[in-house]
Structure 1
Amino acid sequence: MKTGFGWVNVQGTTYEHDVVIHTDGSVTKRKKKASKALKGEYGHTPLSELELGFVTGEDPEVVYIGTGQYGDLPVTPEAQSFLSRYSPVMKPTPSLLDRIEKENRRFIAILHVTC
């Protein structure tokens, strides 16, 4: 995996938007629309619990949150509380990629590609 400002390459495909890597290895676009209403409060669309409903059904052992190239993605307190049961790891996106590639547990990764 590789990343730069505005993109991430996962499994040989380059995405120019935030992505979710699911426990089965599939990659989808992050559905941040649910969190959009909180943009005014955070100055940026945060990762909120409103977009994390899918996590419970996938039952990961760990959830990686790539907070962007510079680590500026806000994560709401409610999202942090929700994620606490899944051993969350929150770091700037470039810092997580090697760790994700070596992960042997069931995981979900939510990767922000800008800021």
Structure 2
Amino acid sequence: MIEGVSFGRIVINGSVYEHDVVVYPSGRVERRKKWLSKEKHGTSHKLDPEELKEYLSEDFDVLVVGTGIYGMLSLLPESRELVEGKEVVEMPTPEAIKLFNGLKNEKRVLGIFHITC
């Protein structure tokens, strides 16, 4: 359960994270590997296919991308192609965590959450 987010901070199952996170359908949480996108595009605000591939280790029905407090992160078209046939939702992180929490009991949800801009 994602309990809340504020600029630079997200709380998941009582643990505080001060970095972008990936939440897998199994409940596992890990740090987002945003340097993979940053090396290629000069910014971590573009979610590159090479980065997204790192998170596709568990099967899922829905990919929820929290685009940040102000919505700066975007999924590149080439990244969308990797998850063709899956439901993909991109929205600012505060709204994305509400959707993630609402869906996780009904579907297998993979969440990628940017917690700053």
With normalisation by structure 2, the TM-score equals 0.87
More strand as a share of residues: 2
| Map of 1:17 onto structure 2 | 19
Change (3 A) 1:84 1:90: farther
Read off the aligned partner of 1:92 and give its amino acid letter.
P
95-104 or 13-22: which moved more?
95-104
- In the alignment, does 2:79 pair up with 1:86? no
Structure 2: runs of 5+ lacking an equivalent: none
Give distance in 2, aligned partners of 1:56 and 1:16.
23
Residues 22 and 55 in structure 2, CA contact (< 8 A), matched pair in contact too: no
Structure 2 partner of 1:114? 116
Q: Is 1:76 paired with 2:76? A: yes
Cα distance change, pair 76–39 in 1 and its aligned pair in 2 (3 A): same
Q: Which protein has the bigger helix share?
A: 1
Q: Deviations over 1:17-71 (max 9, x none)?
A: 000001100110011121122333xxx3121111122444311000100000011
Runs of 4+ displaced beyond 3 Å? 54-57
Give the distance between the partners of 1:56 and 1:69, measured in 2 at CA.
Answer: 24
- Equivalent residue pairs, number: 112
Distance 2:57 2:22 in 1: 14
Aligned to 2:96: 96
Deviations 1:52-96 (A, max 9, x none): 224443110001000000111132221122233220110000011
Provide structure 1 residue ranges, at least 5 long, that are not aligned to the other structure. Answer: none
SS of the equivalent of 2:85 reads helix
In the alignment, the residues of structure 1 paired with residue 70 and residue 83 of structure 2 have an alpha-carbon distance, to the nearest angstrom, of 21
**Aligned residue runs from structure 1 range 9-48, under 5 A:** 9-40=11-42, 44-45=43-44, 46-48=46-48
- For the residue of structure 2 that corresponds to 1:94, the secondary structure is helix
With the length of structure 1 as denominator, give the TM-score of the two structures. 0.88
